[in-house]
């Protein structure tokens, strides 16, 4: 079955299409794609993953057409960043 594995950094984004066997897990597809060799900063023990923006675990069984996405760690807490932007906006208004 056909699936995709996706990863993005600020400087580059890749989506790798590959054929995998039925009952392949998300981790299996990631490893088969070769993306771990291409991007050595990916650590499956640390990086979260998802299928079409919905978080999943490494042992998730894939379906034909799924896109496994590997997410980078957040560099800032989204709630805190939003508060900071709101505070900055309020003081400049």
Domain that holds residue 34: 2-92
- Take residue 9 and report the two structure tokens written for it: 């950094």
- Take residue 29 and report the two structure tokens written for it: 């597809």
Q: 76: domain CATH number?
A: 3.10.20.280
pLDDT at 15: 98
| Distance in angstroms (rounded) separating the CA atoms of residues 77 and 38 | 28
Number of domains in the chain: 1
pLDDT digit string, tens, across residues 29-83: 999 999 999 999 999 999 999 999 999 999 999 999 999 999 998 766 667 777 8
The one-character DSSP state at 3 is E
Band of residue 93 on the pLDDT scale cut at 50, 70, 90? low
Band of residue 5 on the pLDDT scale cut at 50, 70, 90? very high
The pLDDT of residue 92 is above 70: no
């Amino acid at each position: 079955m056909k699936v995709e594995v996706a990863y993005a950094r600020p400087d580059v984004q890749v989506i790798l299409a590959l054929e995998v066997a039925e009952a392949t897990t998300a981790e299996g597809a990631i490893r088969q794609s070769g993306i771990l060799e291409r991007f050595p900063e990916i650590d499956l023990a640390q990086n979260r993953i998802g299928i079409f923006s919905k978080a999943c675990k490494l042992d998730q069984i894939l379906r034909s057409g799924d896109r496994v996405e590997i997410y980078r760690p957040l560099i800032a807490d989204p709630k805190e960043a939003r508060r900071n932007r709101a505070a900055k906006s309020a003081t400049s208004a």
